[in-house]
Copies of this chain bind each other. A is one copy, B any other.
Amino acid sequence: MDYETPQFFRVMQYAQRADRDVVDMVSGNPDWEPPQALREGLRTYADGEPAEFQYPDSVGLRELREEIATRRGVDIEQVIVTNGAGEANHLAMAESLEQMSGDEVLLVDPVYPYYAGRAEMLHADIRFVPATDRGGLDPADVYEQISEDTAAVVINSPNNPLGVTYDAETVHELVAAAEEHDAMLVSDEVYDHFDYSGRFESALSVDSPNRIVTNSFSKSMAITGFRVGYAIFPHPDGPNGGLMDGARSRHMLTNVTSSRPAQAAVLHALRNTDPSYYEANRDLLRERIDAFTDALDAAGAEYTEPEGAFYVMARFPGFEGTMDNVERLIDEAGIAGMPGEAFSDTRREWMRFALVTPRVGEAADRLAAFFDAR
């Protein structure tokens, strides 16, 4: 399995070349409006002094870091603003591998392909912990795989591709596992605003020098192209404090700093966006999940119950999630999903559908009709 060339692009290209209308359920790009305050923030920034167009602090605009620190209840010295959660995860994984004792990264199977690709780029050994049948993560399975060779355990909750959310007990036990084995728990929480279960628990809820929390505004503000994310590291003056110092250096030497117009716009939006903005988008997703899972039920499909994020992973009777069948679904039903093998060799029978299109209802109808005709 080649994690470095995501199959994402192959599917997108096939769908674009298709000789018919296709509902895109491949990409994880929100299709709704960003906050009005974000547009305002960008406009105000465009009229600023020349000095505002120059390098911010390498670790991010001070006011943005303060805002994040206050909201997350951490010290500002723990916060680094990154080029999206992608870079936040990169810094977290790279510094864990550089500074913790092991050379191995534990990932969950099925995996968000970037984690695995990044681990390979960093020349780490990769070990997979299988998700449970219901899509969750059993800490006992992590305990079975974690060892002194482990530098980092990387989790994502709410989860892509499974759509599940890990509860408090799971997260607390995962931090404990990391503590016991001198490893870091890297908890990627970019979908934290999209929890439909009410069970989501941030790893920040556990006070520990063995966890790094990463996040971004890409999904919550519908701005995946802006690249404003952050990582919260253990305090630089405490145990494992070297990770923050290392991340600062790595960020500076890789990117110098993150883009300032995007940081300024996000800061303005953070300060001036009502909670109802986030609630409305969550409600929208809930409706889409209902419509789509109804169609899956009608098709006799098995699927992981969507508790969070934007995704449903499903298995259809007699119709495996191979690339051939993904292409057939594009050509014959006009729906583009992702083949399960993009996330795991063990998921070849499955397909993942992203619900970030206003046409989820239409896709549900097409899906029901397609399987009805078989």
B-facing residues in A25-53 (Cβ within 8 Å)? 27, 29-34, 39, 42-43, 45-47, 50-53
In the assembly, what is the distance between CA of A265 and CA of B118, in Å?
30
Q: Is the CB of B55 within 8 A of A29?
A: yes
| Known interface pairs A121-B249, A121-B253; 8 further A-B residue pairs with C-beta atoms within 8 A, sorted by A's residue number | A29-B54, A31-B50, A39-B47, A53-B224, A54-B222, A87-B254, A117-B253, A226-B259
Known: A253-B4, A253-B117, A256-B86. A261 touches B226 (CB 8 A): yes
Tell me the bound Cα distance from A83 to B58 in angstroms.
Answer: 13
Q: What is the distance, in angstroms, from A186's C-beta to the closest C-beta of chain B? A: 15
- Cross-chain contact A117 with B259 (CB below 8 angstroms): no
Distance A32 CA – B39 CA, assembled complex (angstroms): 26
Q: Is the CB of B42 within 8 A of A46?
A: yes
Q: Does A262 reach chain B (CB closer than 8 Å)?
A: yes
Contact partners of A42 in chain B: CB under 8 A: 42-43, 45-46, 261
- Report Cα–Cα, A54/B30, bound state, in Å: 8
Q: Which residue of B lies closest to A40 (CB)?
A: B46
Chain A: interface residue total (CB-CB under 8 A) = 53
Q: Which residues of B contact A226 (CB under 8 A)?
A: 53, 259-261
Within the assembled complex, what's the spacing in Å between the Cα atoms of A224 and B50? 10
Q: Does A90 contact B (CB under 8 A)?
A: yes
Closest Cβ of chain B to A126, distance in Å, is 14
Q: Check A261 against B253 for contact (C-beta < 8 Å).
A: no
Cβ proximity bits A253-270 to B, threshold 8 Å, 1 near / 0 not: 111111111100100000
Ordered by A's residue number, 5 sampled pairs between the chains whose C-beta atoms are within 8 Å are A4-B249, A31-B50, A83-B258, A86-B253, A226-B259
A5, A87, A253 interface centre (most CB from chain B within 10 Å):
A253
A261–chain B nearest beta-carbon distance, Å: 5
